[in-house]
Amino acid sequence: MGTGEDHQLVARVVSAQDTAAFGELVRRHQSQVRNFLRKLTGDIATADDLAQDCFMHAWDKLQTFSGRGSFIGWLLKVAYTTFLQSKRKSKRYAEILEQLGHATETDGRSYSVQPDEVTDLDKLLAVLTDEERAIMVMSYACGLSHREISDATSMPVGTVKSVIFRGKEKIRTSFDIKDHQHG
Amino acid sequence: MTSKIINMAERIKDAEDRLLESIFASTPIADDGFSATVVRRVRRGLWLRRLAVPVAALIGGVIAFKPLAGVVTAVISLSSLLPQEMLNATTTLIPQAQTIVLGAMLLVAFMLGLRSLEE
């Protein structure tokens, strides 16, 4: 997956609103974006809906991609923003329901998997906060550098490093990761 | 130089980092029509945006037609009340007024036509 080719496709989309070129960009990166969102939400259907919204936002904002970093880094930034926006919306919705007197089961966690499908990774992700989870996934699953994560999350590089350190610490204290099973 | 050192430091991963990478690793997800759905949504959005301006102009024109017609009729009836000398004076002051108005209208129509052709 060449970065140069990505940049050429982006240029075609921005200059001529080329939907075929955009389709090629989606084909190239859909797997990484969907995997990222699946790990953030823990739910396949929600993640895929968010991934669609993410690509729609990407289409609208593509002219803001400066071309300095990798395209996937920029795309994951859009995906993370889409995830946060959706979370805020559902939180507001839960608050409205609560005001109306309906009981809700919101404990601040957005990660939910079916009990029969829980993998080691799910258990591991469940102990992390949304922010830690996003940064750990960007680093260990998507292979982004600290600089790219910093750009994607609008956090200083130092903060990114300390969040990763904290996440690793939490995982270390909660699990003996050396005995993990792949899954 | 500093950024190179930082990049090198990042690349030096310990066993725990490698283990975490293997835990976080995931199998690629097949497209299965996902990209086609996104492109369809994008194209639909483009069509809606292109249609929105002419449709809004049309609806606005239909809504504004009756009040505008009333205003024009009122102006015409008022101008018949004005003394003839005053009307003549206006024409003398701005002799090309009619041509200017007509030119501006043609220019706006031309610009709109050019924009729709470009699209």
Q: Where are the domains of chain A?
A: 3-179
* Cβ of residue A40 closer than 8 Å to a chain B Cβ: no
Report the distance separating Cα B100 and Cα B103, nearest Å: 5
pLDDT digits over A70-96, tens only?
899 999 999 999 999 998 888 777 777
Judge: A51–B26 Cβ closer than 8 Å, yes or no: no
- CA angle at residue A39 from A158 to A95, to 5 degrees? 90
Q: Which residues of A touch B30 (CB under 8 A)?
A: 31
- Answer for the pair A30, B29: CB distance below 8 angstroms, yes or no: yes
Smallest CA–CA separation between A52 and chain B, in Å? Answer: 6
Cβ neighbours of B112 (radius 10 Å): 13
Q: Which residues of B touch A27 (CB under 8 A)?
A: 31, 35
Tokens representing A14 are 């921005």
CATH number 1.20.140.160 given to A3-179? yes
Closest to B21 in 3D by CA, of A142, A1, A179, A76: A142
Report the distance separating Cα A136 and Cα A164, nearest Å: 6
Report the distance separating Cα A164 and Cα A147, nearest Å: 13
Supply the pLDDT for residue B25.
86
Report the distance separating Cα A31 and Cα A51, nearest Å: 10
Q: How many Cα atoms within 13 Å fall on the side-chain side of residue B53?
A: 9
**pLDDT bucket at A182, cuts 50 / 70 / 90:** very low
Nearest-by-Cβ selection for B24 from A23, A52, A140: A140
pLDDT digits over A137-153, tens only?
999 998 899 999 998 89
Judge: B19–A39 Cβ closer than 8 Å, yes or no: no
Report the distance separating Cα A13 and Cα A22, nearest Å: 6
C-alpha B46, offset from chain centre: 11
Give chain A's mean pLDDT: 85
Q: What is the mean pLDDT of residues A32-42?
A: 93
Supply the pLDDT for residue A149.
92
* Cβ of residue A90 closer than 8 Å to a chain B Cβ: no
Closest to A7 in 3D by CA, of A80, A53, A72, A60: A72
Show which of residues 118-157 on chain A sit within 8 Å of chain B, judged by CB atoms.
120-121, 124, 136-137, 140-141, 145-147
pLDDT in tens, chain B (119 residues): 555 555 555 555 678 888 888 888 888 999 989 999 999 999 999 888 888 888 888 888 888 887 887 887 877 777 777 677 666 666 666 666 667 777 788 888 888 877 776 66
Supply the pLDDT for residue A35.
94
Burial of A40 (0-12, 13-18, 19+ CB in 10 A): buried
**Whole-structure pTM value:** 0.69
Q: Which residue has the tokens 């496709």?
A: A9
Residue burial A20-38, b: 16+ Cβ < 10 Å; e: rest = ebbbbbbebbbbbbbbbbb
* Cβ of residue B2 closer than 8 Å to a chain A Cβ: no
Best mutation target, A29, A57, A59, to test chain B (most B CBs within 10 A): A59
| pLDDT of A106 over the 50 cut | no
Smallest CA–CA separation between A106 and chain B, in Å? Answer: 26
Q: Which residues of A touch B36 (CB under 8 A)?
A: 23
Nearest CA in chain B to A27: B35
This complex has an ipTM of 0.76
Q: What are phi and psi of A111, to 5 degrees?
A: -95, 115
**pLDDT bucket at A53, cuts 50 / 70 / 90:** very high
Supply the pLDDT for residue B56.
87
Cβ neighbours of A54 (radius 10 Å): 28
Q: Which residue has the tokens 């270390």?
A: A172
Smallest CA–CA separation between B8 and chain A, in Å? Answer: 11
Work out the percent of chain A whose per-residue pLDDT is above 90.
53
